[in-house]
Amino acid sequence: MKPWTQEKNAPLPGQFLCSLDGFTEGEIREITFARGSKHPFHLFIHRQGGELRCYVNRCPHFGIPLNLEPGMLLSSDRQQFMCSTHYARFNFHDGLCTEGPCEGGALERIPVEIRNAALYVAPFLAAGD
């Protein structure tokens, strides 16, 4: 799979993702760009411990979204993200797969920044920055 920045319909640096109004601890917000196209781009944002982390919603094992239904991104104990197809489990803080067919792999993280109570895709850093 190619890096998320090279995927069709991926958000660009500076792209608005969501308002932070009412974004509560433990909440996950899913966003899809180009929903009706042949190449929609899926991501999700998770708030944990006051941190906001954004990941491409794509299992590194097979390249499909982690969830089959909206909102179904957590393991049954709600301690990790989970792929609904392969039952792979991923850490909240770094996206590392700790169990399943892609163990040792990781979810792709999208850099984000907060501006004016909203979340945006952060500028990409050049190699060596």
Question: What percent of the chain clears pLDDT 90, i.e. is strictly above it?
Answer: 84
Answering whether pTM is above 0.85, one says yes
Mean pLDDT of 67-79: 92
What does the alpha-carbon distance between residue 74 and residue 40 come to, in Å, rounded to a whole number? Answer: 22
Can you give the residue ranges of every domain in the chain? 28-112
The answer to whether domain 28-112 has CATH 2.170.120.12 is no
Q: Strands across the sheet with 28-33, in order?
A: 28-33, 41-48, 51-56, 109-110
CA dihedral for 4, 5, 8, 13, sign (positive or negative)? positive
- Predicted confidence band of residue 125 (pLDDT cuts 50, 70, 90): low
In this prediction, what percent of the chain has a pLDDT beyond 70? Answer: 96
Residues in Cβ contact with 21 at an 8 Å cutoff, skipping those fewer than 6 apart: 117
